[in-house]
Chains A and B, each alone.
Chain A
Amino acid sequence: MSVRVVALALLLAAHAPAPVRAQNGSASEVMTGAVRAYRDLDFDGAARLLRRVLTPPLATGLDDADRARALTYLGAAEHYRERPDSAIAVFRRLVFLAPRHRPDTLIFPPEITRLYDAVRSSTRVVAVRLQADTEFSVGGKLVAWLYPSTPHDVTVAISGEDGHALRTLYAGPIGDSLDVRWDGRNSSGSLATGDRLWLTVASPGSRQVRVPLQVDVSAPDTLLHAPPLSNLLPEHAGRSTGLRSLGGAALLAAGALTLPSLVAPGERASGTRFAVAGALSVSGVVGYLSQRAGRPLPENAAINQTRRDAWRRQDDAVTRENAERMRAARVRIRAGSAVVLDPLGNNP
């Protein structure tokens, strides 16, 4: 190789375009080079650098704002490269990443912003923002803010590991934004716990956004409720009620007559016991006649009412005590990164 050829090669390398120099730099340097190439109307070079910066390993050095900026430039570059399908695909990806993002109208011309708006309008997706770590007591709530790409209907639910909805938080239209609140309970009112719960935002016929939740509940033991009443008396006389009264009275009357022989055998008892035996016998007959089958027994009804009232008071006391104890419960919810799934469950 002659000296002239080497000198020419060095000269060309010194005047090489920016994209070539940026090929081995960091993500921000590559991004800067891509933007410069775009401004220099080198859309092919810009697209090549932007695709590089949006794929690992450089993509890991970008935050969401940088990624959105890169996608915006890439979509515009693809548009000017006359690849409309690629531009639409890039803009759709941008909508999934940041539904609220808008291209800067000072940088991008109206044809780019119109194209982006058209893609955004036809792509229904919701961005979910919530605190990474939320802790509250009973009565408090987890708040999730939802930002849609375009107004549409959504269903927001808490679902279990198997995808089965534990509780639907909201179902209806969403416009500019929406905040939904969850008190940590499932649809039956009890506190939902689990390592793999999901906050699911489903847009019908479109993507589904899922945020993994880890819910820990530190709740004290609660009291058991009183068992159902089982010792209620019959409120209407049965066939045996009168007979039982008659039998009991007869037994007592016999007891009165035989009591002296039991207690003081050999003694001659007086006749006073006959008065009591007679009174018991008469009472037994009266009891038998007054308690025929089907007759209401108001005394038993009153006793039952007293028992029911006592049971209700006890149950209310347990309910109050449990509510008091549950006030001390703490719910801690840790949220992970949102995942966007297409209707078939694949990550786009």
Chain B
Amino acid sequence: MSTRGMWLAAVWGVSGLAAPPLAGQTTITGTAAGLVLNVRTRSDAGTALGFGGTVRFRRLELQVRYAEGTLQPSDRQSVGRDLVEGAVALRFAATPWLSMQLGPHARHYDSPLGPERWVTWELGGRAEVAIAGTQVRGHAMLWRGMGLEVNVPPGSGSARGGEVGLTIDPGARPFWFALAYGIDQAQVRDAARRETVETLTFSAGLWRRLDLRALRSPVLRPPLLAQLRHGGADLVRDLPLLPERRDHRLRLLGMELERARLRDGLIE
């Protein structure tokens, strides 16, 4: 990763941490999806299968994507090559419709000539627009490579790309579908080598929202949390008074009383 890219990543992280939380946002939204990719380059094309997922908390979203498949040459004479593709992106929602993202994107080709790896650090902006309420949304994204590294032949260069797509989210049900078209072009410096890849991606997945407040253990209820924050001996004194323990003690006490009553009855 270049120095420029590291600086950008640092600024990105700081801006994300410093962003004021939206009021009442204590939920984490996660998605998981299966991907079907139609990948086309200048010389070959093929289908790849994969998966992807996102985790979103407040304004920050982490996206992960992985796919692999085989590309067949268009001339039907050359040997096909395997494709493995992966990407990670950290996204910051500056506004409800505009977000910025940064992350690495790697493509690995396995050909008879040997493995070939392209790694790009992508920095881009993504805009979303509601097409039919919140159930159908469209998006457009443009990105620019902050650093490109290729292993065969070893070198670096530049890259850029974009994506346009739409997402259908019925809302009431935790399913969603997406269709997106993306294209990117990478140029290796001093090698007159250029790689253009078009991708048509179909995604089908699930989403789930998790309320952080529901994650709190019954032991860590607000009064006890307040005691923990303040510390002191009250914590030790009040722990036995937690409702569960208190009820248990009362039951034990009741049993003891019943036992004593029976014993007294026998004596009499």
Contact = CB atoms under 8 A, between A and B. Distances in A.
Interface of A: 226, 245, 248-249, 251-252, 255-256, 259-260, 262-264, 267, 269-270, 272-273, 275-277, 279-280, 283-284, 286-287, 290-291, 297-300, 303, 306, 309-311, 313-314
5 smallest A-B Cβ distances: which pairs? A310-B24, A287-B132, A248-B129, A276-B181, A256-B164
B42 interface: yes
A255 B134 contact: no
Given A255-B164, A280-B166, A283-B166, A245 B181 contact: no
Contacts of A311: 23-24
B133 interface: yes
A307 to B, nearest CB: 8
B258 to A, nearest CB: 44
Could you tell me the dominant secondary structure of chain B's interface residues? strand
A272 B131 contact: no
Given A264-B185, A311-B23, A259 B133 contact: no
B23 A248 contact: no
B24 to A, nearest CB: 3
B17 to A, nearest CB: 21
Interface in B157-213: 160-166, 168, 171, 179-181, 183-185, 196, 198, 200
B130 interface: yes
Contacts, number: 118
B24 A276 contact: no
Contacts of A275: 179, 181, 200
Contacts of A249: 129, 131, 138
B38 interface: yes
A252 B200 contact: no
A272 B198 contact: yes
B135 interface: yes
A272 B200 contact: yes
B136 interface: yes
B140 interface: yes
27 contacts: A245-B132, A248-B131, A248-B138, A249-B138, A251-B129, A252-B138, A252-B140, A252-B164, A255-B140, A255-B164, A256-B181, A263-B160, A263-B162, A264-B184, A264-B196, A272-B40, A272-B181, A275-B181, A276-B179, A276-B181, A283-B131, A284-B131, A286-B131, A286-B132, A286-B136, A299-B134, A310-B23
